[in-house]
Every structure is written in structure tokens, then in C-alpha cells.
Amino acid sequence: MLRYLKKYCDILGPSGMEDEIREAIIADIKDSGAEYGTDPMGNLIVFKKGKNRRSKKVLFSAHTDEVGFMVKYIDEEGYLWFDAIGGVDRRVVSGRRVMFCESGINGVVASKAIHMQTPEERGKCEPISEMRIDIGAYDRVTASKYVTVGDCCTFTPNYEEFGSGLVRSKALDDRFGCAVLVAMINSELEYDTYFAFNTCEEVGCDGAKEVGHRLRPDVVIALEATTAGDILGVPKSKCACSVGSGAVLSIMDRSTIYDKELLETAVAVANEKEIKWQYKNVVAGGNEAGVYQRSAEGAKVLAISAPARYIHSASNVLSIEDMQSVAALAAAINERSFE
């Protein structure tokens, strides 16, 4: 898994611009013996034969897109007005470096220096729709040579391992999930298994909707990053999960009540294999599992997540040990027949 992680995180791929990450994944699985193809939404769907066949169709899913920004206007001074792609907290945007997908041009999100702010402005964060990106152009004509309305950017690639076995980077949500699936595809499987690398999760799980209707799986295991609460100022009662405490199993979130039987199976497998795990103990967020649960004839769903600090920011933080726990649990669950 770790062989692929930095490469995937460094790729620019906000929702709607997942071509490069998809091609990187294809390059990494093309010699695995798996069958694969792309649908009109840009989802990459993979089938890998195992030693045995199941009576039920089992799908492992992760999304390829990341949060980002899209240019909506270029003003006379050469600044780029933009809006967010996906759920981005405006407090983590101002002053950040960004890189444009189309041109590779760098920019910085402009902010007024504190000594130029009025007393009323200090301590407040302006809406993203009022922020601007500075690419070093002095007028609209110059800026328009490099960027046009509709161009997209993400936080600048910044993958780094630090501290006691931690990783910080943009796009760990959900490039880590993609890396786990690629490692599974390149391994020997006990059972025939489907895999989906989906587009546009951050803007409504649109890719998963298409995959659910196309494949009609019976069982779906979504691999995701989920918000960790072990940071300053969050009481234990509201700490959904903690970095370093293992793979996260969700009972319920804002879009899904997870299948009880699958959840019990995951807990039993984790305990049997001595894989570190934890419950997500706050009802918050959501992921592709909710879409799969309601697509076509419906599916039984499970989410296995890695706890992430500062999710949807320039520096998500994950534990390597937690990611390995997610990978181990996903692989162990896939050894079950699901009869």
C-alpha cells in the first residue's frame, strides 16, 4: 500500500478531473491479471478472479477525487476569484499554496495582512466566494494567458512522513483507500472480487451512484478516511475516533445505518486476526456506502475508515499503522465467502 500512497497523493485530481489518478491506478494494476474498464462517469471498475467463486457479488470501493477549487472570474488586477469543489472549511484556505491541474501554474490564496485589517475584520474569515488566488499576474490579460474560467486547482502536493509513524498530505482522503485497493488487486485473492475507483465523491457521490446501478453488488465495503477528533479542544464524548487507535468501523452516520451482520463480521475478523480497530462513536459525516445501500436493488454495506486529522485541508494527517490496519482488515474480510 505504501508503495503507491505518495504517488497517488501527489497527483492533482479534484472532482471531475480524475483522469490522471485513474491512469496511474491502471498502470499499477495492468499486470495483475484483473479485468478493468471505465464507464461514462470516469469510474474505474475492476474484476479480479480468486481461487473460488462467491454466490454473492462483493465490491470494495474507494474514491479517486479530492477537494479543490474552480476559477469563476478573473479581475482587472489579475486575481482569480474561485469557489470550492467539495466541502472545504474556509478557515483552512486563506494563505495556502495551490497548483492548477491544467497548466501546473502555482498560486497562493490572497489574504489581507493583519496590520492592514480594520478592528472589525480581525479574527474573522471571509467566505471562500470572496477570496482570490494570486498567480503573480498584474492584470487580466496576463493572467488569462495561463488560467481561464473553469480551470481547477488543488492544494499544492506536499506528502511527508513525520513524527511517530504519521503521514501528512493533501488528498489522503481518499488516495489511501485507492492504494489499499490496488495492493489487494495485486495480491492473490481467495474469492472473485469487484473493485471500484469512483469519481465525484466529494460533490455528492455521483460516481458511486453509477457503479451501484451498473454492478448491482450484494455487499459493498467502502474504504474511506473519516474525521478524527483527538485534537485540542475536542472533548472525549465528541471525539469520533483517534489517530493511532486502528481501523474505524461505523455503526451509523448521516447517510447510512450500516448492516449489523457485516459490522459484527468485521469486529469478529478484527479480533480473530488481532487487527487494531475502534468504533466511530459520533453520528456525523457520510460516504459512498449510503449511495450503494440505496442503489438499484440495494446492498448490504460496511465502511472501514482511517482516522484523519485536518481532513479536507492542505495537510490531512493519518497514521501508517492505522492505514495498515485498514488494509489488513479489508483483506481478511475478503477471505470470507459471504454465503
Q: Which residues are catalytic?
A: 201
β-pairing, 193-198 with 44-48? antiparallel
Cell numbers linked to 102: 491544467
Which is nearest to 197 in space by CA: 333, 73, 72, 21? 21
Which is nearest to 49 in space by CA: 31, 34, 28, 29? 34
